[in-house]
Amino acid sequence: MEKFKVTFHPDNKTIEVAKDTTILTAAVSAGIYINSNCGGDGVCGRCKVIIKSGKVITQPTGIITLEEKKKNIYLACLSVIQSDLEVEIPQESRLSLEGLTPQEIHARIKEIYSDAEEVEPAKARIGKDIFTYSPLTTKLYLALPKPDLNDKVSDLERLYRQISRSQDIPVLHTGLSNIRQLGELLRDADWKVTVTLGKREGATEVVLVEPGDTSARNFGFSFDIGTTTISGQLVNLNTKEIIGTKATYNKQITFGSDVITRIIYAREQEGLEKLHLAVIDCMNQIIQELTEEHKIDLNDVASLVAAGNTTMIHLLLCIDPTHIRKEPYVSTSNFTPTIRASEIGVRINPRGLLACVPGVASYVGGDVTSGVLSCGLDRESELGVLIDIGTNGEIVLGDREFLISCAASAGPAFEGSGVSSGMRAAIGAIQKVKIDTRHLEVHYETIGSVKPRGICGSGYIDIISGMLKAGLLDKSGKIKDVSHKRIRDAEFGKEFVVAFKEENGASSDIVISEADIENIKRAKAAIYSATACLIRHMKLDFKEVKKIFIAGGFGTYLDVDNAVNIGLLPDVERKRFIFVGNSSLAGARQMLLSYEALEKAAEIARKITYFELSIEPGYMEEYMAALFFPHTDLLRFPGVKYSNHN
């Protein structure tokens, strides 16, 4: 097979690939992350690259303009390599953290996510008084009585006997590999050993036997497997202390930015395996970096709890997710067995246990169960609602008596996808915006305080709210005909310039178009109307909802007033809103530290009724009515007032 050398710039990374490989695949192999929201279908136009030298065969596409063609710009996904190649990957085509060293990326992400952790009120609820401390794996040091002619019980039964003497345990068992090494190990260790006990399917097993007293070294990981971001937390299981938290992009992004694209990709040849390996790779990266930084031996990590949406958990375990997106939208498993981490290639102690948080339904996964557990919705005496805002918005309504959930397909706009200058909430994203009502001056803050590279969800909310307040938008989201340098005609309708290219040094202005506003409007309408519909379905009213927990992508920053202003959140007393940040990760940590919490999560998952919005009469009307700013029914938003710009 013919092979060619491909060099990527400005990274200056060279890789050898077979003839007919796409540039996108070559880039991934070289460890370079290119945007590819459509999963390589040549549709999203986000993977533009410049070919400096060499030959490719490409497919005709309307996404590349004639002008771009002249500049040797190609779609990486559609162009197959025919010779040695020199390729430049422009900043806009890169996943937004690219260009930084891994250390820098992690430093920055840590910065962002440590903020998120700090604002996380779910933390305040983790305490001895809520769940009994009983980690997924515990260590127990044992000095066994040596066998003699009067005490000839076998090695394994001797071990079990001593464990039973130390604590009250239901069923004990272990695997052959432990038994095979037991005879020598016990004698070499002079009968002084440490056992790691793990809980699986309601029983207790001996996960490990180690010589000597290693009971002081007992660590675990909790993980939130997000569609966009994977976050992991290293926890000292003895002290409950969080040793470190790291997050990384989910490498699956290369195969599509939302779960539907990935489910489709999973049917490609080796698609499922690639998606599976991508998430495992991310987890191993976080595990390796955190354990190395904190000088912890991987063998001392024997448990991991992962929360994620149903598709993410299927991909994590390499289970085909196809049927999640086919009517009647049934997943293969919402309750997956606790397995050995090594079964799926997660690199902790090879005999270590890995549990996934049980999910409710195909579009209400274990991340939601985990969120409910950690915000304590299921323990509330007063009515509350948890709104997890993401590409798929999940809403849970209830209290200690009942829990009901639904999912709304909000689209990826709040995550910066499908919008012209959109980007994820990462370094360089405009996340906080104020528009001066009189002069239309725009004041913004970016994540990491660097030059702006795009707009993330919270930025869009602020901008639209600001435009509404300034009277630049009509109720339907059309930009009014105002004479100002920031407002101009574009190919389809008008656009508003948030940051001129002079400010950011990029090749184009950062703008919000009428199409973008339409996308955000649909997203906010989907979430608001789903919440409203769920509440109405239960014959309740927003006024009766005492606590509104907001979770998800807005963990870092969200202006509640602006969110109410655009009609995303209901117009109720602001003190009812509680930000819970990454509630999924917080819940997974609770389950890592308490088997009771893990069992509670199963109970919660079973308790939550799944309410199918799409077949609910009146949902469409509710949704249509929400397709205005703030809403068709202004009585629902009595506090919202927009001015008219003149």
How many CB atoms lie under 10 A from the CB of residue 596? 15
Question: What whole-number distance in Å separates Cα of residue 45 and Cα of residue 64?
Answer: 8
Residues for the chain: how many in total? 646
| Strand 339-340 relative to strand 353-356, pairing | antiparallel
Least distance between a second copy and beta carbon 56 (Å)? 37
Least distance between a second copy and beta carbon 360 (Å)? 10
**Distance set, CA 540 to CA 407, 575, 577, 617 (Å):** 18, 20, 18, 17
345 or 493: whose CB is closer to a second copy?
A: 345
Peptide bond into 147 cis (omega under 30): no
201 or 481: whose CB is closer to a second copy?
A: 201
What is the Cα Rg of the chain in Å?
A: 27
Task: Give 199's contacts (C-beta < 8 A, 6+ positions apart).
Answer: 134, 136, 137, 205, 338, 353, 595, 598
Least distance between a second copy and beta carbon 289 (Å)? 27
Cα 296 → chain centroid: 26
Q: What are phi and psi of 496, to 5 degrees?
A: -120, 130
Q: Is 272 helix (H, G, I), strand (E, B) or coil?
A: helix
332 or 420: whose CB is closer to a second copy?
A: 332
314 or 521: whose CB is closer to a second copy?
A: 314
Peptide bond into 135 cis (omega under 30): no
361 or 395: whose CB is closer to a second copy?
A: 361
67 or 201: whose CB is closer to a second copy?
A: 201
Least distance between a second copy and beta carbon 279 (Å)? 15
Q: Which residues are 308's β-sheet partners?
A: 225
Q: Are 190 and 199 in contact (CB under 8 A)?
A: no
Question: What whole-number distance in Å separates Cα of residue 537 and Cα of residue 619?
Answer: 10
180 or 451: whose CB is closer to a second copy?
A: 180
Joined together, the tokens standing for residue 587 give 């819940």
Q: Is 617 helix (H, G, I), strand (E, B) or coil?
A: coil
Least distance between a second copy and beta carbon 354 (Å)? 10
Least distance between a second copy and beta carbon 559 (Å)? 37
118 or 201: whose CB is closer to a second copy?
A: 201
114 or 164: whose CB is closer to a second copy?
A: 164
Least distance between a second copy and beta carbon 161 (Å)? 11
Question: What whole-number distance in Å separates Cα of residue 197 and Cα of residue 139?
Answer: 6
Q: Is 22 helix (H, G, I), strand (E, B) or coil?
A: strand
In the chain, what is the straight-line distance between the N-terminal and C-terminal CA atoms, in Å?
A: 68
Least distance between a second copy and beta carbon 370 (Å)? 17
Least distance between a second copy and beta carbon 404 (Å)? 14
Q: Are 5 and 15 in contact (CB under 8 A)?
A: yes
238 or 322: whose CB is closer to a second copy?
A: 322
Question: Mapped to the 3 state alphabet, what secondary structure does 453-466 carry?
Answer: CEECHHHHHHHHHH
489, containing H or E segment = strand 487-489
Tokens 């090695």, residue? 155
Question: What whole-number distance in Å separates Cα of residue 162 and Cα of residue 372?
Answer: 39
131 or 363: whose CB is closer to a second copy?
A: 363
Question: What whole-number distance in Å separates Cα of residue 304 and Cα of residue 351?
Answer: 11
363 or 629: whose CB is closer to a second copy?
A: 363
Question: What whole-number distance in Å separates Cα of residue 337 and Cα of residue 96?
Answer: 36
Question: What whole-number distance in Å separates Cα of residue 75 and Cα of residue 410?
Answer: 27
Task: Give 392's contacts (C-beta < 8 A, 6+ positions apart).
Answer: 227, 258, 259, 309, 363, 407, 408, 409, 410
Least distance between a second copy and beta carbon 137 (Å)? 18
3 or 267: whose CB is closer to a second copy?
A: 267
Least distance between a second copy and beta carbon 188 (Å)? 12
Residues contributing to the site for a second copy (CB under 8 A): 147-149, 151-158, 171, 173-176, 179-180, 182-184, 187, 201-203, 317-320, 322-323, 327-337, 339, 343-344, 361-362, 610, 612, 615
Least distance between a second copy and beta carbon 464 (Å)? 35
Q: Are 47 and 75 in contact (CB under 8 A)?
A: yes
Least distance between a second copy and beta carbon 329 (Å)? 7
